[in-house]
Structure 1
Amino acid sequence: MMKNHTLNRRHFLGASSLLLGSTALPSFVWAQGEPIKIGTLTPLTGSGGPYGPVMANTVKAVVDEVNAAGGVLGRKIEVISEDDQTNPEAGVRAARKLIDVDAVSAIVGTWASSVTTAVAPLCWESKTFLATVSGADSITELPHQGYLVRTQPNTTLQGRKFGEFAAAEGAKRVFFVSPQTPYAESQFQNITKAVEAAGGETSSLIYDDKKPSYRSEVDEVMRFEPDAIIFGGYTPDTTVMLKELYRAGYQGKKIAFAYAVNEKLVDSVPAEVVEGCYTIAPSSNESSTAYQRLVKLIGVDSPDPYTVQVYDQINLIIMAMAAAGDSSGTAIKDAIRKVSQAADGTKVDNAVDGLKLIAEGKPVNYEGASGPCDFTDKGDISDSSFRYEQVRDGKLTLIKIA
């Protein structure tokens, strides 16, 4: 069963509230020179609101640790946190501030694929490095010139995992429901490939996630007589869809992204609405020393995958600066793989230890809390494990990690 982390998370958020109450630390000149500026662009509000604050605070915690050890390149690091509101327009406004006003070298933590898609051109045009947890295949197909990496598995891999799981559970008629997102089409295509390979068939429906009711959409789903439904939306619309399907008498399997069917959703709806629902998410490397360091650093017993990923992102960016001897976005771009996957590098699980080795002229190979963090030329991670859970007796319960 998942470890309970609500109490510690609230404590962590409360203790770190000063970070999110101000967009920037006080402006001053360090003895070693002006601070290096790094921006977080996370969803502090909107659909991604349950994740963004902890993500931003985690970046600050890592930077505090590095600054306490002397900083990087003889300079301290300053974190500037902005809210993308899980909205592309708000994300663009916040990114423009980070790039044009604050002059950050890197932006970490964009969550929604729509936000990342909107923000990415601003980053590569300004030579600002961008690290994201978004999954849409289209993101790394953008002409980002190397100024982008993601630690989240792309939707090709995720869709295949969803389809394979549904088929393994015996589903022969699988229906995919989703709002219009950058990854919806790719997700459905890869679900279909996996289900058809197992002898099943699929159908799909794209809905308006702003509607208060989905009765007509649910009628269409039910006409297909599915034995499994895969939900591609976020928490608010998935909540409504689950309620409507329960009222319609749906008895088949329910499979959703873990970021949609989370503790908040489970606690907010009648138990019978969500009981038995499966969730799937990229799995953190919980047996790694990096993961254990993260848990201790932020005081959260079981951090969500996005928090784990931004922990890896900020550690990698800091070490890339050191390896390049330069804090610019271009320097990070050119050095990120030198610290993430150097075949002859000493394995490290945090930037403080990595900086010491780099200062000695030794190569490093970062082994992260989310996994190895090895990137393809396009900026995708090479592989990932997935975490499968099910709502049982009103609680999300771990089934397997595979």
Structure 2
Amino acid sequence: MTQFTIDRRRLLAGTAALAGLSGLPGLALAQSSGPIRLGTLTPLTGSGGTYGPVMVKAVKAVVDEVNAAGGVLGRKVEVISEDDQTNPEAGVRAARKLIDVDKVSAIMGTWASTVTTAVAPLCWESKTFLTTVSGADSITLLPHQGFLIRTQPNTTLQGKKFGEFALQQGAKRVFVASPQTPFAKSTFEAIAEVVKASGGQAQLLIYDDKKPSYRSEVDEILRFKPDTIIMAGYAPDTSVLLKDLFRADYRGTKIAFGYGLNQKLLDSVPADTVEKTFVISPSPAEGSKAYERLVKLIGVASPDPYTTQIYDQVNLVLLAIALAGDASGTAIKDTIRKVSQAQGGVKIDNALDGLKAIAAKQAVDYDGASGPCDFDAIGDITDSKFRYEQVQGGKLTLVKIA
């Protein structure tokens, strides 16, 4: 039998050298040759069920493109999609599966703020990166240690826009009606600050979103004598509230959030109940190359804001993995801003071009279908345009984008 003697110093030196190289793409490939697994956690059912399926379609379309071009780090990308049912408990169960069973590096697209709030601790504890379209201010104030970004404007910014628009319509007495959500208080406070600064008054009512009628709540709202009512609920309860306001013969201005009043709701209620209602939502970057590319990719003429945002999220995650040479959640966390807001980087609007630029050792700066994807220190998007529409003849008609 031949005996081999291993010098201890040489062994340690070799081990250290390998450790130092572990961040390089080639070695990462050698260590992990299986697929890169990414998860989507969107509302395929429940109050947000209108949005989730198209969001997933956008993610899978991007990944299919990238896989057809050879994948990332020489590895195929696999998408595992779960339904959060627009419910925190279901969201937690689905997130645990994605993290513990599927071993995903990132979870993308959580929609309802209650779901994101429940899921976020699971992500940062497991070092799984989380990208969300939820707006509640409280989300990015969680101790997420950098394992979270959101492409949705926070509710303070959204509330400010609602308050300003209400004033532009001549509002003096603004009533906000909302179910109990993580963003109800912060949204109202932002609206009220703007309205009161102009000499107006504002009041808030929190209602039970499971009730079949809001007639008693409408009576309370009307006692305030509002000239403007802002509805901050989801589609099912907004539908009921609109009907009860119509029965009460309310003639003032009505404003709803885009997530609560969409074309599906318009098609399901009598036209008179919703006519002339205004709708405000964060605006996609219509006319941009990224937006046009998304439209062609998924075959949807006017993608909603959440679809444009998750499209940007998957592009950013893939680019971060490529730049890091590592598919871990920690690597995504450490690299995501280097591909989204690199000073002097090559302007990129899709993963394929970005992967080529990274391979050529170029810095990249991604701007997407939802707009510039620049994030502050706690993970909030720094700027966004908003889309203002009005229901006319049973259809949403554009008023302005600003």
TM over 0.5: yes
Structure 2 residue runs of 5 or longer lacking an equivalent are 1-29
Pairing 1:1-400 to 2, within 5 Å after superposition: 33-400=33-400
Mapped to 2, the partners of 1:332 and 1:81 lie a distance apart of 19
Mapped to 1, the partners of 2:225 and 2:276 lie a distance apart of 18
Mapped to 2, the partners of 1:39 and 1:258 lie a distance apart of 25
Mapped to 1, the partners of 2:393 and 2:344 lie a distance apart of 49
> Which amino acid is 2:42 matched to?
T
CA drift of 1:252 comes to 0.4
Select between 372-381 and 192-201 the one with higher mean Cα deviation: 192-201
* Deviations 1:14-37, CA, capped at 9 Å, x for gaps: xxxxxxxxxxxxxxxx9x921000
Mapped to 2, the partners of 1:393 and 1:263 lie a distance apart of 12
Mapped to 2, the partners of 1:388 and 1:197 lie a distance apart of 22
> Which amino acid is 1:302 matched to?
S
Mapped to 2, the partners of 1:192 and 1:360 lie a distance apart of 51
> Which amino acid is 1:51 matched to?
Y
Mapped to 1, the partners of 2:344 and 2:118 lie a distance apart of 37
> Which amino acid is 1:337 matched to?
R
The DSSP-based 3-state class of the residue aligned with 1:213 is coil
Structure 1 residue runs of 5 or longer lacking an equivalent are 1-29
> Which amino acid is 1:378 matched to?
I
Mapped to 2, the partners of 1:263 and 1:301 lie a distance apart of 14
Mapped to 2, the partners of 1:164 and 1:80 lie a distance apart of 41
Mapped to 1, the partners of 2:338 and 2:229 lie a distance apart of 42
* Deviations 1:148-178, CA, capped at 9 Å, x for gaps: 0000000010000001100110010000000
Mapped to 1, the partners of 2:173 and 2:160 lie a distance apart of 16
Mapped to 1, the partners of 2:275 and 2:267 lie a distance apart of 11
Residue of structure 2 equivalent to 1:12: none
> Which amino acid is 1:273 matched to?
T
Mapped to 1, the partners of 2:282 and 2:54 lie a distance apart of 18
CA drift of 1:198 comes to 1.7
Mapped to 1, the partners of 2:333 and 2:55 lie a distance apart of 22
* Deviations 1:112-133, CA, capped at 9 Å, x for gaps: 0000000000000000000000
Name the Cα RMSD after superposition.
1.1
CA drift of 1:259 comes to 1.3
Moved over 6 A (4+): none
Residue of structure 1 equivalent to 2:19: none
Mapped to 1, the partners of 2:317 and 2:154 lie a distance apart of 21
> Which amino acid is 1:334 matched to?
D
Mapped to 2, the partners of 1:226 and 1:53 lie a distance apart of 37
The DSSP-based 3-state class of the residue aligned with 1:65 is helix
Aligned length: 373
CA drift of 1:57 comes to 1.1
Mapped to 2, the partners of 1:217 and 1:85 lie a distance apart of 27
* Deviations 1:341-369, CA, capped at 9 Å, x for gaps: 00121001101110011011111000111
* Deviations 1:188-233, CA, capped at 9 Å, x for gaps: 0000011112221011100000111111111100100100000010
Mapped to 2, the partners of 1:304 and 1:198 lie a distance apart of 32
Mapped to 2, the partners of 1:128 and 1:76 lie a distance apart of 19
* Deviations 1:35-67, CA, capped at 9 Å, x for gaps: 000000000000000000000111000000000
- Structure whose alpha-carbon radius of gyration is higher: 2
* Deviations 1:296-325, CA, capped at 9 Å, x for gaps: 100111000000000000000000001111
The DSSP-based 3-state class of the residue aligned with 1:177 is strand
Mapped to 2, the partners of 1:37 and 1:76 lie a distance apart of 9
CA drift of 1:182 comes to 0.2
Mapped to 2, the partners of 1:191 and 1:154 lie a distance apart of 13
Residue of structure 2 equivalent to 1:5: none
Mapped to 1, the partners of 2:229 and 2:345 lie a distance apart of 45
> Which amino acid is 1:80 matched to?
I
Mapped to 2, the partners of 1:256 and 1:42 lie a distance apart of 22
Mapped to 1, the partners of 2:393 and 2:317 lie a distance apart of 42
Mapped to 2, the partners of 1:395 and 1:199 lie a distance apart of 34
Mapped to 2, the partners of 1:286 and 1:188 lie a distance apart of 29
Work out the percentage of aligned pairs sharing the same amino acid: 73
> Which amino acid is 1:223 matched to?
R
The DSSP-based 3-state class of the residue aligned with 1:367 is strand
Mapped to 2, the partners of 1:395 and 1:124 lie a distance apart of 42
Residue of structure 1 equivalent to 2:12: none
Q: TM-score, normalised by structure 2?
A: 0.92
* Deviations 1:39-98, CA, capped at 9 Å, x for gaps: 000000000000000001110000000000110011000000000000000000000000
Mapped to 2, the partners of 1:394 and 1:263 lie a distance apart of 8
Mapped to 2, the partners of 1:287 and 1:266 lie a distance apart of 26
Residue of structure 2 equivalent to 1:18: none
> Which amino acid is 1:282 matched to?
P
